[in-house]
Amino acid sequence: MRHRPRQRLAAAGAVVAASAMLTLGLQAHATAAGEGPKAPAAKADPGALPVKLSPSQRAELIREADAAEPATAKAIGLGGKEELKVRDVVKNADGSTHTRYERTYDGLPVLGGDLVVHETKSGETTGVTKATKAEISVSSTEASGAHKPAKSKAKGSTAPRKVLWAAEGKPVLAWEKVVGGTQKDGTPNELHVITDAKTGEKLFEYQAVHNGTGNSQYSGQVTLGTAGSGSQYSLTDTARGSHKTYNLNRGTSGTGTLFTDADDVWGDGTPSNTQTAGVDAHYGAALTWDYYKNVHGRSGIRGDGVGAYSRVHYGNNYVNAFWQDSCFCMTYGDGSGNSKPLTSIDVAAHEMTHGVTAATAKLVYSGESGGLNEATSDIFAAAVEFDANNAKDVGDYFVGEKIDINGNGTPLRYMDKPSKDGASKDNWYSGIGGVDVHYSSGVANHFFYLLSEGSGQKVVNGVSYDSPTYDNLPVTGIGRAAAEKIWYKALTERFTSTTNYAAARTGTLQAAADLYGQSSTQYNAVAHAWAAVNVGSRPGGEEPPPGGNENTTDYQIPDPGSVESPVTIDKAGNASATTSVAVDIVHTYRGDLRIDLVAPDGTAYRLKNTSASDSADNVKTTYTVNASSEVAKGTWKLRVTDIYTSDSGYINSWKLTA
């Protein structure tokens, strides 16, 4: 028995555990002959699939999570000045839930402090995925008035608000202001500028108006969701959250006028008829709603069954389209000469997906997270276009192939080889975060294409592609359906506001492991596809891929009790006589802890014993083990056991080099 005075300390952090969820009722997609080999099909773990929540069921889960906020905050080790604000919730078929929160500190919003709490069916908290692992704390929340930024005079600007900026390194007290007005091309401006409250230095800025573009080809004669009867109908889709479509009539502000019609027959297929653009936008919104509901079990952009709205005929000769969280709406220009409205299927899906991203991961629209935000919209734009199976606008891996913005009949963006547009990037490199998000998105677009279809020449749905790889090694696709499931699961469960490409790889690998298993073809295909765009290495390569022999997921250590964190090694032969185990454990009074390395066959190698006299905090060191008698390939585990009560903590990360 240990004899020493003790003071009970809160856990220094929280945990991230393997979780489950994703697509339900996934529809099959037809592919043409000659598209190349695919990985063997596999069924996802049924428990990893989402429950299709009705708006009222979702609202009840949010109410329950909100009521339990104090207990949840304590369970995951937040400080006394921190509070959680529920933003979204996902429930899996196995009864587990994944609740997304924003965080406040002493009443101030914490930008970059968002997190996802994972709970079992019984309500036990098993982990949390955090946008930052930094401790949320500042010496004072009093800000100097001399460094408070002046409110911009531009229309739509807001007064500065005091916040904590936690998206980069140590949290600091800051001011956030939103600059309104318009951008150079006529797009509305909602530029968020973050400045240090003590020095006035600009820390960060990002654009909240999310641009996108697609083809302007009309989809032929389609069925629309409308409301009304007799001689008065409107473009109000009562079956899809009452999504409405409005005519801005060349204006650039306000909602515009709701489209109405006497006979419920809309447009004539030409841009000279003002209803035609409304038809395409309304139809695209319906297809996107149906895709997310039927394929991913999501009822509306926010999952609450509430429709957004669309505005067409924005401005004059405006060659773009955009999403705004502030109005929860999509807006479309009429293109060059006001003759090519940007209202095709993939444009609507692209813009609505910005809304889905805002409701889930909330990827900041700048740097690498901004590229991932933009790529997510391109990825699901392609998914919706394929799912629609419209003969007038066949599914493809191009963006803007019909609008001809460049005037030479070429697509605006290519997912199989992004650099073909002259600006997008095929592969990751250290400066990718400084590239415009529409072009840095090429890395994720390329990854998704390779994961879906594989590398090299092939024909899919009648369209020819030829996708290269960074390392000139081939990639075998697993099919678009599985790739969509993996990306959506990672977006809704693993991505946060600050996710970069390395973290996206980790998140998609975790999603693949949850759905298909860590030794599955799908899991390995994700690793191969990321390596093919220079994010991590091939499975079995010299450098460890995320989820390979390094695990950065937080695992809370029971007080008392044991927890195991796994890694998978893909190496021929036996492990080394100098096997290296790098450990990073956050825990008060580390003498409480016993640490073992567990080989795939169950053999345990003691790394650290308990010690009643070791009162220091944390275990951050590297151990060397002679594991040469063990077969290297397989799942290894770091087992951490807390022998005594009172002090607590978690496994922050560990790395095995066998």
Contacts 24+ apart (CB under 8 A), 538-545: 538/471, 538/473, 539/570, 540/570, 540/571, 544/655, 544/657, 545/505, 545/509
* Residue labelled with tokens 């946008």: 131
* Separation of alpha carbons 536 and 543, rounded Å: 8
In a domain, 562, yes or no: yes
The set of catalytic residues is: 351, 438
Closest to 552 in 3D by CA, of 409, 460, 451, 653: 653
* Separation of alpha carbons 113 and 133, rounded Å: 9
Q: How confident is the model at residue 210 (pLDDT cuts 50, 70, 90)?
A: low
Burial 569-586 (b: 16+ CB within 10 A, else e): bbbeeebbeebebebebb
- Tokens representing 370 are 């901004």
pLDDT at position 456 over 90: yes
Q: How confident is the model at residue 20 (pLDDT cuts 50, 70, 90)?
A: very low
* Separation of alpha carbons 444 and 93, rounded Å: 29
Task: Quote the crossing angle between the two packed helices 345-359 and 367-388, to the nearest 10°.
Answer: 130
Q: Residue 142: exposed, middle, or buried by beta-carbon count in 10 A (0-12, 13-18, 19+)?
A: exposed
Predicted confidence at residue 4, as pLDDT, reads 32
Average model confidence (pLDDT) across the chain: 85
In a domain, 310, yes or no: no
Report the run of H or E that residue 372 belongs to, with start and end: helix 367-388
pLDDT tens-digit series, residues 125-141: 877 889 988 889 998 88
pLDDT tens-digit series, residues 555-613: 889 888 889 998 888 787 888 888 889 999 988 889 999 999 999 888 999 999 988 88
The phi, psi pair for 398, rounded to 5°, reads -110, 160
DSSP string of 259-313, one letter each residue: -EESSS----SSTTSHHHHHHHHHHHHHHHHHHHHHHH---STTSSS---EEEEE
pLDDT tens-digit series, residues 354-410: 999 999 999 999 999 999 999 999 999 999 999 999 988 899 999 877 676 666 777
* Residue labelled with tokens 């937080």: 554
Q: How many helices (H) and strands (E) does the chain have?
A: 10, 32
pLDDT at position 487 over 60: yes
In a domain, 163, yes or no: yes
Report the run of H or E that residue 205 belongs to, with start and end: strand 202-207
Closest to 386 in 3D by CA, of 460, 300, 277: 460
Q: Residue 600: exposed, middle, or buried by beta-carbon count in 10 A (0-12, 13-18, 19+)?
A: middle
For the domain that residue 633 is a member of, what is the CATH number? 2.60.120.260
Q: Residue 175: exposed, middle, or buried by beta-carbon count in 10 A (0-12, 13-18, 19+)?
A: buried
**Across 109-123, 151-165, 283-297, 358-372, least confident range:** 151-165
In a domain, 500, yes or no: no
Q: Which of 159, 175, 208 is the last residue of a domain?
A: 208
- Please name the amino acid found at residue 585: I
pLDDT tens-digit series, residues 62-107: 999 999 999 888 888 888 899 999 999 999 888 989 999 999 999 9
Q: Which of 188, 208, 228 is the last residue of a domain?
A: 208
* Separation of alpha carbons 283 and 291, rounded Å: 12
CA 391 to chain centre: 31
* Separation of alpha carbons 191 and 168, rounded Å: 18
Cis bond before residue 560 (omega within 30° of 0)? yes
Instruction: Write down how long the chain is.
Output: 658
Give me the residues paired with residue 467 across strands.
456
Give me the residues paired with residue 196 across strands.
174
Of the CA atoms within 13 Å of residue 176, those in its CB half-sphere come to 21
In a domain, 486, yes or no: no
pLDDT tens-digit series, residues 307-327: 999 999 999 999 899 999 889
In a domain, 619, yes or no: yes
Please state the rounded mean pLDDT for residues 511-533: 92
Question: How many structural domains compose the chain?
Answer: 2
- Tokens representing 511 are 């999603």
Domain with 199, as residue range(s), is: 147-208
CA distances from 191 to 29, 182, 204, 529 (A): 39, 10, 10, 34
Predicted confidence at residue 628, as pLDDT, reads 86
Pairing mode, if any, of strands 82-91 and 97-105?
Answer: antiparallel
- Please name the amino acid found at residue 318: Y
CA distances from 450 to 54, 265, 388, 456, 612 (A): 35, 42, 22, 9, 53
Give me the residues paired with residue 330 across strands.
310, 323
Q: Residue 294: exposed, middle, or buried by beta-carbon count in 10 A (0-12, 13-18, 19+)?
A: middle
* Residue labelled with tokens 């390779």: 450
Please state the rounded mean pLDDT for residues 161-178: 91
- Sign of torsion, CA 411 413 414 419? positive
Closest to 599 in 3D by CA, of 562, 630, 570: 630
pLDDT tens-digit series, residues 490-504: 999 999 999 999 999
- Tokens representing 241 are 């959250």
* Separation of alpha carbons 478 and 486, rounded Å: 11
Burial 239-264 (b: 16+ CB within 10 A, else e): ebbebbbbbbeeebeeebeebbbeee
- Tokens representing 11 are 């856990």
In a domain, 182, yes or no: yes
Question: How much is the CA Rg of the chain, to the nearest whole Å?
Answer: 26
Q: Which of 192, 208, 224 is the last residue of a domain?
A: 208
Q: How confident is the model at residue 349 (pLDDT cuts 50, 70, 90)?
A: very high
Of the CA atoms within 13 Å of residue 12, those in its CB half-sphere come to 20
In a domain, 200, yes or no: yes
Higher pLDDT, 287 or 612: 287
